[in-house]
Amino acid sequence: MRRIIIVKSTRHLTLYDESKALLQCKIALGKNPVGPKEREGDGRTPEGAYYICLKREEGKFGCALGISYPSLRDAQAAGITDEHLLALFETAQRQQKRPPWGTPLGGEIYIHGGGTASDWTAGCIALEQADMDRLFSLCQEGDRVIIAP
Stretch 86-105: mean pLDDT, rounded? 94
Residue 129 has pLDDT above 90, yes or no: yes
Compute the CA torsion angle 121, 4, 97, 140 (nearest 10 deg): 110
Residue pLDDT, tens place only, 56-84 = 999 899 999 999 999 999 999 999 999 99
DSSP string, 111-147: EE-S--SS--BSS-EE--HHHHHHHHHH--TT-EEEE
CB under 8 Å to 57, separation ≥6 — which residues? 63
- Architecture per CATH, domain 2-148, reads as Beta Barrel (2.40)
CA–CA dist 54, 108 (Å, integer):
10
In the three-class reduction of DSSP (H, G, I as helix; E, B as strand; rest coil), residue 22 is classed as strand
For the chain, the C-alpha Rg in angstroms (whole number) is 14
Q: What whole-number percentage of the chain has pLDDT above 70?
A: 100
Per-position b or e across 80-105, b if 16+ CB within 10 A of its CB: beeeeeeebbeebbeeeeebebebeb
CA–CA dist 101, 68 (Å, integer):
9
Q: What is the pLDDT of residue 79?
A: 92
Whether 78 and 86 have beta carbons less than 8 Å apart is answered as no
Residue 91 has pLDDT above 90, yes or no: yes
Average pLDDT, the chain: 95
Q: What is the pLDDT of residue 59?
A: 87
Q: What is the pLDDT of residue 102?
A: 86
Q: What is the pLDDT of residue 131?
A: 98
Residue 24 has pLDDT above 90, yes or no: yes
pTM of the model: 0.94
Residue pLDDT, tens place only, 34-46 = 999 989 999 999 9
Q: How confident is the model at residue 145 (pLDDT cuts 50, 70, 90)?
A: very high
Where do the domains of the chain lie? Answer: 2-148
